Amino acid sequence: MSLNGPRQSSMYGYRNRPRKTLEKHVVEKVVDDLLAKSCVVPHSTMHKKVDNALFDIFENVTNEVKVHVKKPNIESKHVRSKSERHVVKNVWIRKDTSKCHVAQYALHANSSYSWYLDSGCGRNMTGNKEFFKNLVLKDGGWVTFGDGTKKQVLGKGTICIPGLPKLRNTLYVDGLQANLISITHLCRIFKEVSFNKDVCTIIDKKGNVVLRVKRSIDNCYCLKIDPLTCNMTHECNKLDLWHQRLGHMNFKDLKKLEKHGIVRGLPNLGKKLEVVCEPCQLSKQTKVSHKENSYIATKRPLELVHMDLMGPIQTESINGKKYIFVCVDDFSRFTWVYFLRNKTEAFDYFKKFCNQVQNEKGLGIKKICRIRSDHETEFENAKFSEFCDGLGISHEFSAPRTPQQNGVIERKNRVLQEMARVMLNSKKVPRNLWAEAVNTACYVSNRVFKRPDTKQTSYELWKAKKHNVSYFHTFGSKCYILNDRDHLGKFDAKSDVGLFLEY
């Protein structure tokens, strides 16, 4: 911060690190103190941790305005604690100074997952390529920092990570250690950005709090994003995190889930917030939720089961599967998915399904009464009808080329496909893991989507108990797998890095 107005360059920091911008009156008080006492910058008015580098800056900057700065003898009594990297010093300054720049270093500015709110920079900046959702590499000129060093701008793009507002036009700056969020940028997209001594609050146009950023111990307003565990504390993050964990469930349904206590283990998600999820925007064709078929004609599980076969999928799954066989129980809307190499396997999987569910529900008590499918040959064949006749299951067919008649299953297929697509795209998971994505989508949707017209999830209707979602993880997120199988050398890594794919 400077007292004599902004510098020519709109973006500057000190030595790649964000500066703490002091309020004008604080700076004035420091200067007043400097002038009045003619010698010592008191610790109380300066920051507690004035470090060597700050001293140098002071020297550089104050030299510009012809102020003599002398390094005092550094005595250990000024060093507050040995653990502090930054040595506390007195700064001596001559009396006839009139202007002064004050800079403050952030202690942890080199942590590349910290985002600093900075009023000194006109654009958002980062030196970490991985943060970008879409990065256009081009020569964007240079950024000049406060100490005169220049860094090259290598590109520009949008940053969209959970816990942060969407940051468009962020500069990718070569070698920049810290991540800076421009206050000017925030002011442009939100209604209000206000600071007090503890917290910076960002409020959107509807008056909702989008973000609260606490003042960190190094006196910066800093947002720490934990890249691995996503242990986020902000309301906005929590909502976003659970949105991801629950297979990018739409925010309205998510709030309903919380409000009505439909599942257990879901934390308080805070007030409704405007969160934009880029993967959702990119992957979901229709934003409006699919029309619900709220009329349920059945009275108990397994009275009617809908079936369908999806595929072939263009990319073979990692296990060489190409088709998805979907079964939906009409009453609970509980769904099962099986992955097939070819269509003819449908019958085997249907037999497997019948055994599985009838066993689960207790033989003889609740049996499948009716099944409904289309006229495809994989369902309409001699083996199928023989098997159904044997069990006393009546097989209904929807009229050809009118998928509306099979609405329940069609809708389910679309939901599963969309969820899987978002889950794959949002974490850039390889395409051939689509089966894992669909499986997780099915698992999640059974446990979090409520059946139309009720406040119960499919899981609850099927298993007669509420599900606890507290162990849910985001599909495709990094995880560490403890390596306890292989014989480990003394210095081998104890765990392998993996992707979380299935429950």
Positions touching Zn ion (CB under 5 A) are 248, 277, 280
Pairing of strands 335-340, 478-482: unpaired
Integer Cα distance of 208 and 201 in angstroms: 10
Determine the longest span between alpha carbons in the chain, in angstroms.
104
| Range list of β-strands (E), 68-198 | 69-70, 92-93, 114-118, 125-126, 132-137, 142-144, 150-159, 167-173, 179-182, 192-195
Contact present, 432 and 479 (Cβ < 8 Å): no
**CB-nearer residue toward Zn ion: 51 or 418:** 418
Tokens coding 415: 């939901």
Smallest separation, CB 161 to Zn ion (Å): 12
When the beta carbons of 280 and 346 are compared against Zn ion, the nearer one is 280
Min. distance of Cβ 54 from Zn ion in angstroms? 43
Shortest reach from residue 263's CB to Zn ion, in Å: 18
| Least Cβ distance, residue 215 to Zn ion (angstroms) | 30
**Beta carbon nearer to Zn ion, 241 or 280:** 280
Smallest distance, Å, CB 417 to Zn ion?
15
Q: Toward Zn ion, which CB reaches closer, 160 or 280?
A: 280
Nearer to Zn ion, 43 or 133 (CB): 133
> What residues have CB less than 8 Å from 300, skipping those under 6 apart?
331, 366
Dist CA 231 CA 477 (whole Å) = 13
Q: Which is nearer to Zn ion, 246 or 408 (CB)?
A: 246
Minimum distance from residue 256 beta carbon to Zn ion (Å): 16
Q: Looking at beta carbons only, is 1 or 499 nearer to Zn ion?
A: 499
Q: Give the number of other Cβ atoms within 10 Å of residue 76's Cβ.
A: 7
Distances (CA, A) of 209 to 186, 206, 212, 236, 424: 13, 9, 7, 9, 30
Q: In terms of CB distance, is 170 or 474 closer to Zn ion?
A: 474
**Residue 89 or 248 with smaller CB distance to Zn ion:** 248
Smaller CB distance to Zn ion: residue 277 or 327?
A: 277
Q: Could you give the count of Cα atoms lying within 13 Å of 350 in the half-sphere of its Cβ?
A: 27
Per-residue tokens: 289: 């939720």
The alpha carbon dihedral of 416, 417, 420, 425 has a sign of negative
Residue nearest Zn ion (C-beta atom): 277
Task: State in angstroms the smallest separation of the CB of 278 from Zn ion.
Answer: 8
Contact 64, 7 (CB under 8 A): no
321 or 447: CB nearest Zn ion:
447
CB of 210 to Zn ion, least distance (A): 17
Taking the complex as a whole, the smallest distance from the CB of residue 247 to Zn ion amounts, in Å, to 9
Dist. CA 439–CA 338, nearest whole Å: 8
Taking the C-alpha atoms of residue 422 and residue 282, their distance in angstroms, rounded to an integer, is: 8
Handedness of CA 285, 291, 297, 301 (dihedral sign): positive
Nearby residues of 32 by Cβ (< 8 Å), 6 or more positions away: none
Q: Is residue 306 a contact partner of residue 327, using CB atoms and an 8 Å limit?
A: yes
Question: By C-alpha distance, which of 277, 278, 247 is closest to 449?
Answer: 247
Look at residues 159, 161, 126 and name the one whose alpha carbon lies nearest to residue 237: 161
CB of 268 to Zn ion, least distance (A): 20
Q: How many residues does the chain have?
A: 503
Distance, CA of 308 to CA of 316 (rounded, Å)? 19
| Other beta carbons less than 10 A from residue 74's beta carbon | 14
Of 117 and 254, nearer to Zn ion (C-beta) is 254
Residue 125 C-beta: closest distance to Zn ion, Å: 26
**Closest distance between Zn ion and the C-beta of residue 251, in Å?**
9
